[in-house]
Chains A and B, each alone.
Chain A
Amino acid sequence: TQLLEQSPQFLSIQEGENLTVYCNSSSVFSSLQWYRQEPGEGPVLLVTVVTGGEVKKLKRLTFQFGDARKDSSLHITAAQPGDTGLYLCAGVGRETSGSRLTFGEGTQLTVNP
């Protein structure tokens, strides 16, 4: 079983602060995705990273895939209350692409105005 561990589990910050969320595994993934889930809704895909060392930027969000494709990070600059939500990382195993997308437990982010 390929497990993804996210940290921190909970994060509460003030508007304007920066933060980083981590997603780690002992397994190699062929790709890794980040989703954001708001209360009462399903998760929504933010980004997919595929290549080791890859960095993708989405406005104030920066995603990085580790060189060994075992970990990823999400950095948010100047957080805003609209960034509040549950952030989930999910990996596609190197041996079994598509069949079972493994999710981390999530990081619950609260940005206070």
Chain B
Amino acid sequence: GAGVSQSPSNKVTEKGKDVELRCDPISGHTALYWYRQRLGQGLEFLIYFQGNSAPDKSGLPSDRFSAERTGESVSTLTIQRTQQEDSAVYLCASSPRSLYGELFFGEGSRLTVL
């Protein structure tokens, strides 16, 4: 497709379970970002991938969170042993090799931890 695709769009899980969220960026975009957005709030940076460089993981809130990206394609965000405070919308964005870092967002994956 032409845009950033995220799956699943909605995920309900029980506390303590692991979840995996997927992001398909726009073809040719070298940069990929994950953000977390709690209800009614702004975007919280999680992790950034740029080509084959080491990712910027400085936004990951705990070691339960991890993300991978293969080359310049699909990325997965994994949350282990989910907690209720992990409930949020997880947004993925990709960006072309641009000086100004303009982001193109997916529609997000809404995670609810019961």
Contact = CB atoms under 8 A, between A and B. Distances in A.
Give the interface size class of chain B. 20 to 34
A103 B48 contact: no
B96 to A, nearest CB: 11
Which of A41, A99, A108 is most buried by chain B, counting CB atoms within 10 A of its CB? A99
A105 interface: yes
Interface in A98-113: 98-106, 108
B65 interface: no
Contacts of B91: 42-43
Tell me if A's interface is mostly helix, strand, loop or mixed: strand
A99 B91 CA distance: 17
Contacts, number: 69
A48 interface: yes
A50 B100 contact: yes
B45 A92 contact: no
Interface of B: 4, 31, 33, 35, 40-43, 45, 48, 50, 56, 58-59, 91, 93, 95, 98-108
26 contacts: A31-B100, A33-B100, A41-B107, A41-B108, A42-B4, A42-B105, A42-B106, A42-B107, A43-B43, A43-B103, A44-B105, A50-B100, A88-B43, A92-B100, A97-B99, A99-B48, A100-B48, A101-B45, A101-B101, A101-B103, A103-B35, A103-B42, A103-B43, A103-B45, A106-B41, A108-B40
